[in-house]
Amino acid sequence: MSTLADLTIHEALDLLDSREISAFELTQAVLSRVAATEDRVHAYLNLDAEGALAQAAKADKERLSGLQAALLGIPIAVKDNISTQGIETTCGSKILKGYIPPFDATAIKHLKDAGAVILGKTNQDEFAMGSSTENSGYGVTHNPWNLDRVPGGSSGGSAAAVSVGEALGALGTDTGGSVRQPAAFCGIVGLRPSYGRISRYGLIAFASSLDQIGPLTRDVEDAALLLSVLAGADPRDSTCRPNPVPTYTEGLDTGIKGLRIGIPTDYLAGQGIQPAVAKALKEALACLEEAGAELVELRLPHTQYGIATYYLIATAEASTNLARFDGVRYGIRIAEEGTLEQMYAQTRGQGLGEEVKRRIMLGTYTLSAGYYDAYYIKAQKVRTLIKQDFDQAFEQVDILVGPTTPTTAFKLGEHITDPLQMYLEDIFTIPPALAGIPCMSVPCGFDAEGLPVGLQFMAPPMEEAQLLKAAYAYEKMTRWNKRRPVLC
Amino acid sequence: MKYEAVIGLEVHAQVHTRTKMYCGCPVIEDTGQLEPNTYVCPVCLALPGALPVVNRRVVELGILTGLALNGTLQPVNVFARKSYFYPDLPKGYQISQYELPLMTNGYLEIETSNGIKKIGITRLHMEEDTAKLYHEAGKTLIDFNRAGIPLLEIVSAPEMHTVEEVKAYAMTLRDVLVTLGLSTGDMEKGQIRFEANISVHPEKSQKLGTRTEVKNLNSFRALAKATDYEIQRQISLLRDGEMVIQQTMGWDEQQGKTYPQRSKEESHDYRYFPDPDIPPVEIPTLWIEEIRNQLPELPLAKKQRFIKTYRLGHYDAQLLVADYVIADFFEETVGRRPNLSPQDIANWITGEIFRLLKERQLTLKESGITPPKLAKLLQLWHTGTINNNVTKVILAEVFNTGIDPEVIVKREGLAQISDAQTLNTLIDGVITAHPQQVTQYLHGKHAVLSWFMGQVMKETQGKANPKEVQNLLRIHLEQRRFS
């Protein structure tokens, strides 16, 4: 049954502003949906129902007193690797059990300043390492379209929550595809902004040169709305860009007539693309052409090296980023007896999951004396080549379009014993992440089993406005995003 | 066989900026005096999600130091993560510099008994201090107040050969850092720390010996003693036909011995790589030139100028230039009273004032003495208005209270009695009261003169002008010969 919980953010804002509904009612509707579906989906690690209702009531009062704010009274879910003051933040890891941040991430501060209602923290692959949310230290999340399927990952909890109506929108994070891939698997919109567009302060780092916070929403307009709130310079994050933040919701509907859209052929050939995905892509391209875009086939020749490059750089950074989880200052400590080294070994041995340990080992090896040049430095060089692929492509075209993932949502447990197969899920999402360019996944159809397919749009650095415009035009023509999973 | 030692020094100096290296927490000079873990934030505690931001002022002071050390400055500075696990390192890595340090290829001039020598400086880079560990009753406590305080690491070339050179280098470098205003140079508070790389080889051989690294030397004394000990240890190993093992040594102050900490095989692989949280910091030439204009005169140059301009002795000049606050104080005092000899002023500063500073544990700026006040006081002393002892007493009071010396002299009636009429009356009285001593004097026992002197001083509470008294006493006594 459709309720207020199924509204998009901009629809809800219209109703709130015209006083047809209250933020309290809206939050209640979302909490009712959580009550109805959460036992099957398990999107949340920590739901703050009481806090959310209090924030909603406050938002209603503020609206009555004439306050205007971009997200006043909108219930939003937050991935568990983003620090929330006073709310346990575990990153999906047992090692951070009980850790309550004394500060808000800059993105959370922006959300709160805009009047958003924070619902709670969503499930994820531990430290954002994974593509299925099966690597969580706190149980798996189920895809609302088919409960036997994964929701994607690592922002699987956020994607599932938005998809099934347990939140109107959510924050995820994307290191190599962790916003776009779950968005594709759950039939929603997932935006990864340019590197440096949204502050990383308070985002618990996996791979610092790749991590970006991004919104997961039910349509492109909502993504634009959230991005306008979240983006902007931050003196606490030196990698955050100072570029002014446009109002991304403005000019969305100017159309794509004459827009040059590049189709990277390397994203099509021999990459294990399922027929349903290939078909959806073909139809999407036809649709874009019909809207007046000019399609240009081109090459991104270093695409095939993306995964190898990514797994060297990301794990190298992760191996040091995760060194702070040593049992000394926060989270769990396992050290009944024994030496300092035993405390480290026990705390990290038991507190961290298999995939996380695997990546720490890989990264440590990559940075070790005698291997650094062959692995880390070489990977950095290839990263530059991949960036140059995109630079050259964007000399010819305005936007690139391709599949978000080679397949639709796979079965729970299907890849769990084969990490390499799991890594291949990110083959199309990794290269733009390495290049630091903005990119997003938009629903573009369903396979025979009714599982959603995602279409990936990519734009030059800091050209989010262009990216959103193209995605918006496509969405308006197809309306795949209007279809919702039915669990109740 | 004779052996030659080859020594290089690594110096870690805390930089006293307003805030820490990568966060906004205040830098406190002596964190040991604070309530533990009160000057901390998410960044220096390495809470999940916190990010470092480079303190621009540290880069500025680093450039200033690089210029003072005559080196080549890196136009693009890259910060690197240095990884190892230890509880005093909250992130599990230290943000330091590795491949592209702020300065390379510099030198420092030192002065030893063999004259002036240039010691090469391989590199200077910026990094952060660690937390402080306290081991108590089987437990380890951590204080993060010190974590993240900016450090400059200055690495010399292995170009020193004697303990004297090592000491001269360390002290000169300390004086430079103090002069540049980035350190108070207080060794006791751990603001400057040394590590010495030491090897020895037969004097005739070109081939360098195996080196050891002696860590945690926190005073000039420890540095000198440990270096000396380690050189002797290595020489006697070689004399006995044994080998020096490449290893890291500690220094046991109590026993006066170095001891092995870990061997090369156990040494860390720090896995340096550029910190992705910190974009490269560019240092444009214009910025360097701006900073060059702020470069003060360095201690050795100042010392040479003091010797030449003020005709000071080597030793006094050295004492004055070690701290630019004192050197400035000296020059300002000299400037106010050109008729006073600079050497006299230097003597009062390095004598009485240094004694008071040490006794009261104060810095010059914390005391009440200023160049105008010292100049006034020494003027009174110079003209004979007050004698040496009185000058010392007044100096102590000015030092403690900051009251004008002339006011004190007037208030206490401390001015010397030089007035002939007053002294004549006094002396006449003393001589008349002691006829026996007069007789002794007249019979040639001239030592009695000093006894009379003492009597007069006793009567005047030491205020009588001794020179005058001596003259007048002689005249009065000689007069009695004829009466």
Mind listing the pLDDT tens digit for each residue in A243-290? Answer: 999 999 999 999 999 999 999 998 886 668 899 999 999 999 999 999
Annotated catalytic residue within A136, A155, A158, A178: A178
Distance of alpha carbon A326 from alpha carbon A422, whole angstroms: 28
Annotated catalytic residue within A93, A132, A136, A154: A154
Last residue of a domain, one of B265, B290, B315: B290
Residue from A163, A146, A120, A130 nearest A27 by CA: A120
Write down the H helix ranges in A197-330. 220-230, 275-290, 306-321
All residues at 6 or more sequence positions from B296 whose CB lies less than 8 Å from its CB, including other chains: B179, B180, B181, B324
All residues at 6 or more sequence positions from B5 whose CB lies less than 8 Å from its CB, including other chains: B161, B162, B198, B199, B200, B231, B234
Q: Which of A186-195, B67-76, B132-141 has the lowest mean pLDDT?
A: B132-141
Q: Is residue B338 predicted with pLDDT exceeding 80?
A: no
What percent of chain B is predicted at pLDDT more than 70? 99
For residues B191 and B272, state if they share a domain. yes
Distance of alpha carbon A368 from alpha carbon B464, whole angstroms: 81
Residue from A230, A296, A232, A297 nearest A269 by CA: A297
Q: What is the pLDDT of residue B449?
A: 86
Q: Do B51 and A237 touch (CB under 8 A)?
A: yes
Q: Is residue B143 predicted with pLDDT exceeding 90?
A: yes
**Contact list, B21 vs chain A (CB under 8 Å):** none
For residues B347 and B235, state if they share a domain. no
Domain positions in chain A are: 4-258
The pLDDT tens digits of the residues spanning B165-220 come to: 999 999 999 999 999 999 988 888 889 999 999 999 999 888 999 999 999 899 99
The pLDDT tens digits of the residues spanning A45-60 come to: 999 999 999 999 999 9
Q: Which amino acid is at A148?
A: D
pLDDT (average), residues A475-488: 88
pLDDT (average), residues A313-336: 95
Last residue of a domain, one of B227, B259, B290: B290
Pick the CATH number of A4-258 from 3.20.20.70, 3.40.1410.10, 3.30.1490.20, 3.90.1300.10: 3.90.1300.10
**Contact list, A99 vs chain B (CB under 8 Å):** 48
**B47 close to A (CB below 8 A):** yes
Residue from A59, A82, A263 nearest A157 by CA: A82
The pLDDT tens digits of the residues spanning A449-466 come to: 999 999 999 999 999 999
**B53 close to A (CB below 8 A):** yes
For residues B81 and B16, state if they share a domain. yes
> Is A132 designated active site?
no
The four Cα atoms A475, A478, A481, A484 give a dihedral, to 10 degrees, of 170
Q: Do B53 and A235 touch (CB under 8 A)?
A: yes
Q: Give the nearest partner residue to A103 out of B42, B81, B272, using CB atoms.
A: B42
For residues B439 and B349, state if they share a domain. no
Q: Do A320 and B83 touch (CB under 8 A)?
A: yes
Mean pLDDT (chain A, rounded): 96
**B91 close to A (CB below 8 A):** yes
Q: Is residue B453 predicted with pLDDT exceeding 70?
A: yes
Q: Which of A219-228, A302-311, A436-445, B135-144 has the lowest mean pLDDT?
A: B135-144
For B:115-174, CB contacts with A below 8 A are 142
Q: What is the pLDDT of residue A218?
A: 97
What Å distances lie between residue B370 and B21, B178, B364, B377, B388, CA to CA? 34, 20, 8, 11, 19
For residues B264 and B326, state if they share a domain. no
Query: What total number of domains does chain B contain?
Result: 3
Q: What is the DSSP letter of B23?
A: S
How far is the alpha carbon of B17 from chain A, nearest alpha carbon, in Å?
Answer: 19
Q: Which of A399-413, B159-173, B296-310, B469-483 has the lowest mean pLDDT?
A: B469-483
What Å distances lie between residue B472 and A237, A269, B231, CA to CA? 83, 119, 65
Q: Do A320 and B92 touch (CB under 8 A)?
A: yes
Q: Which range, A382-386, B390-394, B464-468, has the best average confidence (pLDDT)? A: A382-386
Mean pLDDT (chain B, rounded): 91
Q: Is residue B253 predicted with pLDDT exceeding 80?
A: yes
For residues B8 and B118, state if they share a domain. yes
User: Which domain, by its residues, includes B373?
Assistant: 299-412
Q: What is the DSSP letter of B350?
A: I
Q: Which of A380-389, A429-438, B174-183 has the lowest mean pLDDT?
A: B174-183
Q: What is the pLDDT of residue A270?
A: 65
Q: What is the pLDDT of residue A268?
A: 82
pLDDT tier at A446, thresholds 50, 70, 90: very high
> Is A18 designated active site?
no
Q: Give the nearest partner residue to B51 out of A91, A200, A317, using CB atoms.
A: A200
Task: Classify A326 as helix, strand or coil.
Answer: coil
DSSP readout, B218-265? -SHHHHHHHHHHHHHHHHHHHHTT-----EEEEEETTTTEEEEEEEGG
For residues B244 and B359, state if they share a domain. no
Last residue of a domain, one of B359, B389, B412: B412
Return the higher-pLDDT residue of A354 and B406: A354
**Contact list, A200 vs chain B (CB under 8 Å):** 49, 51
Q: Is residue B60 predicted with pLDDT exceeding 90?
A: yes
**Contact list, A324 vs chain B (CB under 8 Å):** 46, 48, 90-92
pLDDT (average), residues A316-325: 98
Q: What is the pLDDT of residue B324?
A: 85
Judge whether B54 and B62 are in contact, CB under 8 Å.
no
Judging by DSSP bridges, how do beta strands A117-122 and A75-79 pair with one another? parallel
> What was the ipTM of the complex prediction?
0.96
**Contact list, A96 vs chain B (CB under 8 Å):** 48
Judge whether A472 and A253 are in contact, CB under 8 Å.
yes
Return the higher-pLDDT residue of B264 and A375: A375
Q: Is residue B264 predicted with pLDDT exceeding 70?
A: no
Q: Do A238 and B279 touch (CB under 8 A)?
A: yes
All residues at 6 or more sequence positions from A24 whose CB lies less than 8 Å from its CB, including other chains: A53, A56, A57, A60
What percent of chain A is predicted at pLDDT more than 90? 93
Q: Do A99 and B48 touch (CB under 8 A)?
A: yes
What percent of chain A is predicted at pLDDT more than 70? 99
Q: A356: burial class by Cβ within 10 Å (0-12, 13-18, 19+)?
A: buried
Q: Do A324 and B85 touch (CB under 8 A)?
A: no
**Contact list, A205 vs chain B (CB under 8 Å):** 49, 277
Q: Do A369 and B271 touch (CB under 8 A)?
A: yes
